[in-house]
Every structure is written in C-alpha cells, then in structure tokens.
Amino acid sequence: MSVLDRKLLRDLVRIKGQVAAIVLVIAVGVMLQVMMSGLVASLSETRRAYYERNRLADVFAPVTRAPETVLARLAAIPGVALLDGHVTGGALIDLPGEAVPIQARAISLPDRGEPVFNIVYRIAGRLPEPGARDEALLLAGFADAHGIVPGDRIAVTLNGARRKLLVTGLAESPELLFVAAPGEMVPDPARYGAVWMPRAALAAAYDMQGAFNEALIALGRGASQDAVIDAVDRVLAPWGGTGAYGRHDLVSDRFVTEEIDGLATMSRAVPPLFLAVAGFLLYIVVNRMVQAEREEIGLLKAFGYTGHEVGAHYFKMVLAVALMGAALGCVLGILAGRAMVPLYTTFYNFPFLVFRPDPAAFGIGVTASVLAASAGGVFVLRRVFRLTPAEAMRPPTPPDFSRTLNFSGVAARAFDQPTRMVIRGVARAPWRALALSAGIAGGMALSSGMTTIYGSFDRMMALAFTVIDRSDATVFFVQPLGMTAAHDLARMEGVIAVEPFREVPAVLRHGLRTHRGSVSGMIAAPEMARAIDADLAPIDLPERGIVLGEALAGILDIRPGDMLQVEVREGRQPVLEVPVIRVARSLIGAPAYMRMDALNRALAEPGRISGVRMRVDSDRAEAIYDDLKNRPAVAAVSVAETARASLQKLMDQGAGSARYIMGAVAFIITFGVVYNAARIGMNERARDLASLRVMGFSRGEAGFVLLGELAVITLVALPVGSLAGWGLSFAIARGFSSELYQIPTEFDPFSHGFAAAFVLGAALVSGLLVKRDLDRIDLIAVLKTRD
Amino acid sequence: MANAFVTKGLTRTYGEGRSAVHALRGVDLELPEGEIVVLLGPSGCGKSTLLNILGGLDRPTTGSVHFHDEELTSLSDRALTRFRRDHVGFVFQFYNLMPSLTARENVELVTEIADNPMDPDEALALVGLKGRSDHFPSQLSGGEQQRVAIARAVAKQPEVLFCDEPTGALDSATGRAVLEVLAEVNARLGATVLMVTHAANIAGMAHRVIRMADGQVRDVTVNETRLSPAEVHW
C-alpha cells in the first residue's frame, strides 16, 4: 500500500462521523432503489412462473349453458392450442359468526387427474373424493381469514340449495390471487370465498350434466387474442355467451397487475429523487472537504507529487465514500427486500416468492452515487491543478471578507460581533451557503412530500367513505328486481333511507382502448353514492350521456365531448354510444356513472334495480344484516365499515406499504443532510471557535457563532423545501395511484409543519452533536496549527 | 511588588506509562505584577505548556497555580473561561483574527464582553493602526494583523498579556514594531506581559528572563538595564 493510500485510510478514519453520515444517506437512497426494483422484478417473475406452472388460461369464455359438443367447434378455432370446459357458479357461504352470507365461487375439479387449466395449489388436506357430493377444497386465504381448517364443515348455498360441505383441504389458484366480491372495489380475502368440488357433484347442483358454463383456452404461439375472442363469442352466442375475455381482464390478474405496476411506477419515479438528494449532499461535502485540505495539497505538490497524483488521491477518497455507501445500500436493499417478501407472499397469495434483486438496480445505485461523487471530484481536480506548492509554504492568508457587508448606523448597533461573523459568513460565499441550503431544502422536500402522502392516504379514505359514498351498507340482489324490492327494504325497522341503483357489467371502448368494468346507474339526485367534481360538489347526472371517473378517463384516454361505446354484458346486451359529459373525481376503482332510468331504457328493462344502498340506525344494524341474510333475493351485503377496513389493509400491506419505508428513508436522508451541514461548519470554523474560547467566550457564545450559520441556511431551506415538497407530493401521489385507488394531493399545512419541525429538530440534534465536539476541542492544538 | 502568579511544584504529563511525555517536571515560580517576562528555551522545553497553564488553557497534572489570591487549579471550566475573559489577553504566533470581522470589529469582539474595556479606536491607535480600522484581516500585512491581535488583547485592559511567539511569523523590522507595541502596553497600562520565544535577543527588553530546559526552570535573571525594542536584533 502506498503512503498516500495509507493517508487516505487514516483521513477517512479521522472524519469518520461525517463519512458515516454520508455513507448512510447514499446507502438508504441506493437501498430504496434496490429494494423497490427488486420487489417489482420478483413479483413479476413469481407471477409469471406461477401462471406458467399452474397453467392459468389465456382466455376465459363464460356462457349460460353449452353442451360439451360445442367444445369441438371451439377447438377448431385457429389459434386455440388447448381447451377445456368446466362448471363454475356463484355461491354463498354462511358462517356462524358473520352477519351476512359471504359471496363465493364454486369451481369444478375434473373427476380424474389434474385440471387442464388453473391447477389448484393444495396447501393442506386432501382432494375431495371423485364421487363425493359434499366435499370441497376451500380457498386458503378465505379459510385463514375465518379460522377454518380441513375437517370443518361449512354451510354453502349452491344455486339456491343449501348444503353442508366437508372441507377436505385448503388450496390456492392462480386465477384467485386476489379476490373481491362482485360490486366491491377492494379485494379482501375474508369477503370472498371459493370452493372446488368434483365435476359430477357441481354439474348436478348447477344442472350442467353433459354441459359446461365456462370455456378455458390457451392460445397457440403467435395467435391473436382478439381474433380468438371474436371467434369464441360467435360460437358461444347461441348458448348465452356473455363475452370472452383475456387474462388481463381477469379480476385477480388485474388487481395483481395494478399492484405490481404501481410498485414499478414508484420504483422508477421515487428512488431516483432520493438518490439525487443523496448525490447532491455528497457533492457539497466533497467540495467543501477538499477546500479545507488546500494546504496539504500544496505540500504534497511541494514534495514533487504531480497534480494528477494528488488529484487521483482525493478522487479515490471521494470514490471510497461513494462506493461504501453504494455497497451498504445494495446489502441493505437485499435485506429489506427479503424482509418484505414474506409480507407480499401473504398479501398476494403467492404459494412461493423468491426475492431476486434486479441487477439493473445495483447498476443504477452505484452509478448514481459514483456520478455524484465525480461531480464533486471535478471541483477537486480543478482546485488541485490550480494550487501552487508555494501556497503551503506561505503564512495563511485570511479569507477575504472585504466585499461582504459593512455595518453602519442602526445595523452597527443592532448586531454584535458574533452576529456579524454569522452574517458575513453567509454573505461572503452565498453560493456555498445556498448549496447547503438547497441540500437541506431537498431533505425538507422529501420529508414534507412523504408526510403529505401519508395525509393523502387518510384523506382518500375519508373522502371515499364520507363524501363519495355515504351509505352504511350496500345490498346486492341475486338478479335485477323491480322497485318494490327497494320499498320492502326501506320498510325494515332501523333502515333510515334506501337508494336504489343499477349496476351492469360492461366493456367500455374508446378507439383502441377498452376497459372491462361496469356502469353504475344512479337515481336523479342521489344522497348516498354520488359523482363529485374536483371541488367535492356533486355532479348532476344528465338525462343522456355518461360521467367517468378520472382513473377510467385516463385508461380510455377520453375527454368530455368524446363518444364512448358501452357494450353491456347483461340482459339483452345492448351496445350504447354515449357522450362523455364530465370527468368526476374518483378515489376508488374506475367508475362510470349514468342515470339509472337512461340505462334501464337502453336495456329495455324499465324500473329494474341491482340493489340498494342504505343508511341504517347503528343500534339496529346487526339485526338488519341478520334479517337480510335470510332473504333469498339478497345475494350479498357490503358493509361500508368492512370495506373501509379492507381498503386500509390493501393500502397498508400492498404496494401502498412502500410509503412507510419511503417516509423513513426521507427522514434519514434529511437528517444526514442537516448533520453534514453542521459538520462542515465545525470543520471550517474550528480555529475561529477555539480562538473565541481562548478569549474568554463561553461555550454557548462560541456555539452561537458555529450554529448561527446552520440556523440561517436551515431557515432559508424551509420555505424552499416546502414548496418543492408540494410539487414532489404530486409526483409521488401519481406513483401510488392505480386503478385500485387514487391518491389525492393538496397542500397540507400539517404535513409541512411536521416536516419543518423534523428539519428543525434534526438541526438541533446535529447542532448539539457538533457542539459536543466544540466543547471537547483542544484549544492549544488548534491555536498551534495553521488552517 | 505583589506577585501576579505563584506556581508550586507544577508538573504536566501527557499520556501514560512508557509513552508518557513529561512536559513540566516541577516548576516553582514567582512572577511580580507589571513586568515584562520573557520565557526562553529550546523547542519542547515546556515553555508553551507553562504559558498555557498560567493562561487557563490547560491544567497541571500536579502542583498549584495562584493568580493573586485565587487558586487557578481548583477552578471549574466555566470559572476558567471567566478568568480568561476578565483578566487575560492572548497574542498568538498566527494572530488568530476572525477573518470575517474588520480590525475594529475584531477588537470590539473583546470589548463587548469585557467589564472595563478601553475604546476600540484607542486600542487600535495604541498599536498605530487607527487609519486601518475598517480593513479586514485579508487586507492587512502580517505585522498589521499581529498588531490588531495585540490591540484586541489589550483592549479589555487585562492584568496579564500572554504572547506565544508573537514575532515568530514576522520579519525583523515588523517584529520590532510589534515588540514596541508590547513595551508600550506594559508601560502605559501596567499589564504584566509574559512572552514565550526562542529568540534569545528579545530577552534584552524584559525585566525578567526565565530560561527553561527539560521541563524545568534553569535560571531566572533580572535585567538591571533593559534594551528598548529598537535595539533588539535577531
């Protein structure tokens, strides 16, 4: 090891506190990058592997009832590689502890061997006996949520007939990674179940002997999904086909995709911002550190080292710090990613999930830190080349303050000498002070931006459940009913008000863009569920036309005035051409609103409703839900409170949970920046401070000179950082928003106040840490040495 | 004349065990008020250590220091700071001016916290820098900077002025001017001046010369006739 390298190591040890702070800041920035992109890569890869291994179908074609002979005609469609027809149907699971029966799906298992598609992944127990009529596999997530284990019996209503089924085992399936009851926007394993039963038993229950009601299709290589779907729809039309759809319209896949895409958006958008602030800090610190080494550089040159050698020495030092940070960040990123894996595995119902870091993330993290370090290094080199050896030999020239401020008149009386030192310190090198201020402002921006996002999540919940939908519960009917059904429910004791609605599944098309969702038919001036505009004012639904939620308008790339094609997938399946009247603010899902009477006219089903929203007397709520459970017309009841809890869980355990890590990282970076700013001040002023102490200034008085500058640049940084944080919160909110939920952003004084308090607190703690060094400063040593 | 400082059995050891350095090995001294005292000796003889202990910047390992009736060795850090603030002025080899303050403001730095300061302009006039009081250190020569440092040290009207190699960084002509200022301060204000140097010729202007070697006082001589600073050569 050369002497210079040994000097480098010792220098690093000497300034270890500051090195540690910089390394930490870079490390958490890189960590976030590695962890987030690693999670995205891992989730995508796991999903792909799981779909492939358990053969998730490419196309799903539901039909009312088609004889098995039709399968041959489907198989003949060009592009269909593999085909199967199975039996599936809606079911209700009635659990003793639950106020309302829970919606579920029953799916057939082949009498012999494995299913061709959507192979269930059995976690516990055994498969049902092939001939058994009352045995079933139960969806594992659902069983866990309700504490059901193999061997238990559950009451299940299949096609109107109630049965006691023996749960023989628990299973998961690639088509049911995420489950949400029809009509519910938020997935929740507790709120939707699935049972798998032998084909014969299920066919008997649903009257499907010799027939199927859903065809599953694998596409051949290079086959056009749209062409196959068109052909399948034509074949199945006479048998009541309700429209085939591809994998990406499968509810479960759509949820998973939304979540992974959300994480991907965030991993692209947010960590670079964090890295940028970390890099900027590195740049500032390196720049200032080398300025302080001026004489050593002159000395080395005097000994005969060339400018390049000395430059390389300092460059190495910078690089060492950057690489330490990057390396630590990579390790932390992997550890954090590994720690997150079990959470996501549970949440996404993957039977397995391997954390595989994205190699590109290492590259980006390391490159970003090295680039930032190099930017600082360029200044290092410039200075090194410019310095003459003689500078080290000359007595130190005091830095020139002659072009700063002169204090006369009132100012002379107002400011004592220590205050003037602080003011001139800032005024002499305003750009240096501004750079530090910008660094702290960056930290403030990250902190206030993230705190705003925390608040936005809460605000989203509050708006969604108190402004957009103010009902206590939503009742879904088994099939559309007349208005009398609503009047019946309104007469129940404890029901304060009911509001009927019509909800029909539909495919919405605009140009090449399509969205498989539903259209909500609403009464003229709804009181409970409402379309609202940006100012939270309810939108009057017009007689003709449709109002779309923001998210949906985005998906379809459609603006008010454009025509939207609505292919209704219920009843006589009309295709409507309706103008988009307005875009409403939406927070959950991607709703489309129409007037109920207009929708019913189009369906030629006047006066039909799909269900009602209701407000109930909270004292009577339990009794009302109990009563509803026993009404055969009721398919499901969604209680607002439960939906709210599910949404909270989704936001806290799914992609939204990243906000907590990002918030923590933002605060760590902020502290690192502030601490370094304080440290720099101490390094550059040690001599002046020691002189003050010798002259009889107390620790507090000397501390004022040291920390005054920090206070000034921190106070300047706060409003600037706050403004930047406001802008940043929009970008972060966009990253967190998906079709599942959208995060609103607005200026939130509390968040900015909180972040400002944190920055001030960080400045205070940093000040105290640095002041501790001032207290321990060796007065004699500092006075004996020159700057 | 009363003594400003009395030390008894002063030792100062840095480090422990085999690597211990004994900077002072038992120093007994009496320094009368109002004198110019020059501490002479080769590098490492302990003269700066002695100066630092007398000035309240360092503490002895054993022994005692009395400043008038007060025992410095028993004072708390806070009280030592108070002692420096109220009674002592320092002049350093490298001046230690605040680069961000003008000459006058550097002096005011001290007068603002002192009990009975002189007018800053008067202090600057004393060192012959009246016309340059609005200049920043970067605009002053080395000798001028050292004179500002002296003005700053004397402006609080200290009882003792400690000077550690005050001419060490200066050429002889400039150095002589600085010594003249110190002699003037001693004569006009009656301050005790304790000067550390290894330039033996400076001893000629002192009332009393203390020679040190190996952490001990070798001899103390009292000059019957003193040279004026103009006669000092080195």
| CA distance linking residue A595 with residue A603, whole number of Å | 12
| CA distance linking residue B98 with residue B110, whole number of Å | 12
Residue identified by tokens 């820098």 is: B129
CA dihedral A35, A38, A40, A45 (to 10 degrees): -150
Partner A contacted by B199 (CB < 8 A): no
pLDDT band at B207 (very low <50, low <70, confident <90, very high): very high
Superfamily holding B33-59+81-231: P-loop containing nucleotide triphosphate hydrolases (3.40.50.300)
Burial A381-413 (b: 16+ CB within 10 A, else e): bebbeebeeebbeeebebeebeebeebeeeeee
CB A507 within 8 A of CB A515: yes
pLDDT at A357: 82
Contact A399 B138 (CB under 8 A): yes
Instruction: For residue A641, give both structure tokens.
Output: 């409170």
| CA distance linking residue A202 with residue A200, whole number of Å | 5
Residues 6 or more apart whose CB falls under 8 angstroms from that of A69 comprise: none
Q: How far is CA A631 from the centre of its chain?
A: 40
Contact B100 A780 (CB under 8 A): no
pLDDT at B65: 95
Interface test with B, best of A691, A706, A775, A779 (most B CBs within 10 A): A691
* A124-128, A187-191, A408-412, A567-571: range with lowest mean pLDDT: A408-412
Nearest CB to B57; choose among A400, A428, A694: A694
CB A476 within 8 A of CB A638: yes
- What's the distance, Cα to Cα, between the start and end of chain A in Å? 28
Partner A contacted by B90 (CB < 8 A): yes
Q: Provide residues of A within 8 Å CB-CB of chain B.
A: 395-402, 404, 406, 416-418, 420-421, 424-425, 428, 687-688, 691-699, 701, 779-780, 783-784, 786
Closest CA to A426 of A705, A40, A201: A705
Q: How far is B224 from chain A (nearest CA, A)?
A: 34
pLDDT band at A3 (very low <50, low <70, confident <90, very high): confident
Q: How far is CA A140 from the centre of its chain?
A: 25
**What is the phi/psi pair of residue B123, to 5°?**
-60, -40
Q: How far is CA A52 from the centre of its chain?
A: 26
Contact B96 A417 (CB under 8 A): no
Contact B98 A780 (CB under 8 A): no
Partner A contacted by B94 (CB < 8 A): yes
Q: What is the pLDDT of residues B96-147, one digit of tens each?
A: 888 888 899 889 888 888 888 889 998 898 888 888 999 988 889 888 998 8
Residues of B in contact with A698 (CB under 8 A): 78, 81
Q: How far is B98 from chain A (nearest CA, A)?
A: 6
Nearest CB to B138; choose among A400, A692, A693: A400
pLDDT at A169: 94
Burial A575-605 (b: 16+ CB within 10 A, else e): ebebebbbbbbbbbbbbbbbbbbbbbebbeb
Share the mean pLDDT of chain B.
88
pLDDT band at A185 (very low <50, low <70, confident <90, very high): low
| CA distance linking residue A60 with residue A107, whole number of Å | 13
Interface test with A, best of B24, B48, B92, B100 (most A CBs within 10 A): B100
Partner A contacted by B207 (CB < 8 A): no
* A281-295, A758-772, B191-205: range with lowest mean pLDDT: A281-295
Closest CA to A384 of A316, A432, A324: A316
Interface test with B, best of A783, A785, A786, A787 (most B CBs within 10 A): A783
Contact B109 A424 (CB under 8 A): no
Share the mean pLDDT of chain A.
85
The highest-confidence range among A278-282, A533-537, B39-43, by mean pLDDT, is B39-43
**Amino acid letter, residue B203:** A
Mean pLDDT of the B173-196 span = 88
CB A454 within 8 A of CB A513: no
The DSSP letter of residue A129 is P
Mean pLDDT of the A442-450 span = 90
* A79-88, A284-293, A664-673, B155-164: range with lowest mean pLDDT: A284-293
CB A249 within 8 A of CB A590: no
Residues of B in contact with A397 (CB under 8 A): 138
Residues 6 or more apart whose CB falls under 8 angstroms from that of A277 comprise: A25, A29, A439, A442, A443, A445, A446, A669, A673
Instruction: For residue A646, give both structure tokens.
Output: 């599910």
| CA distance linking residue A667 with residue B132, whole number of Å | 49
pLDDT at A787: 44
Residue identified by tokens 């009404």 is: A631
Closest CA to A214 of A78, A138, A349, A106: A106
Q: How far is B154 from chain A (nearest CA, A)?
A: 11
| CA distance linking residue A246 with residue A249, whole number of Å | 6
Neighbours of B69 (CB within 10 A): 6
Q: What is the pLDDT of residues B42-96, one digit of tens each?
A: 888 888 889 889 988 888 999 999 999 899 988 888 888 888 888 998 888 778 8
Residue identified by tokens 């690192």 is: A672
Contact B105 A417 (CB under 8 A): yes
| CA distance linking residue A167 with residue A125, whole number of Å | 9
Collapsing DSSP to helix, strand or coil, A390 comes out as: helix
Residue identified by tokens 């708390």 is: B76
Mean pLDDT of the B155-176 span = 85
Q: Which of residues 47-86 of B touch A (CB under 8 A)?
A: 48, 52, 55, 57-58, 78, 81-86
pLDDT at A394: 55
Residues of B in contact with A396 (CB under 8 A): 94
Residues 6 or more apart whose CB falls under 8 angstroms from that of A431 comprise: none
A201 vs A108, A120, B162, CA distance in Å? Answer: 8, 18, 106
Q: Is the pLDDT of residue A182 over 70?
A: no
**What is the phi/psi pair of residue A522, to 5°?**
-125, 155
Contact B100 A428 (CB under 8 A): yes
Contact B98 A688 (CB under 8 A): yes
Burial A744-753 (b: 16+ CB within 10 A, else e): bbeebeebbe
Mean pLDDT of the A757-784 span = 83
Q: How far is A775 from chain B (nearest CA, A)?
A: 10
| CA distance linking residue A632 with residue A613, whole number of Å | 18
* A124-138, A290-304, A342-356, B53-67: range with lowest mean pLDDT: A290-304
Residue A477 falls in which region: left (phi positive, over 0), alpha (psi -120 to 50) or beta? beta
Contact B81 A780 (CB under 8 A): no
The complex's ipTM works out to: 0.78
Q: What is the pLDDT of residues A359-396, one digit of tens each?
A: 888 888 888 788 877 776 676 667 666 766 666 555 55
* A289-303, A438-452, A708-722, B131-145: range with lowest mean pLDDT: A289-303
Q: How far is B48 from chain A (nearest CA, A)?
A: 9
CB A286 within 8 A of CB A374: no
pLDDT at B234: 66
Q: How far is B89 from chain A (nearest CA, A)?
A: 7
B220 strand-pairing partners: B210
* Domain assignments of chain B as residue spans, ordered by start: 33-59+81-231
Residue identified by tokens 């502290």 is: A671
Instruction: For residue A349, give both structure tokens.
Output: 């119902």
A211 strand-pairing partners: A67
The DSSP letter of residue A135 is E
Residue of A nearest to B161 (CA): A695
| CA distance linking residue A653 with residue A263, whole number of Å | 12
Residues of B in contact with A395 (CB under 8 A): 94, 142, 169
Q: How far is B65 from chain A (nearest CA, A)?
A: 18
Closest CA to A260 of A41, A555, A516: A41
Nearest CB to A417; choose among B48, B109, B142: B109
Nearest CB to A401; choose among B48, B81, B138: B138
Residue of A nearest to B98 (CA): A688
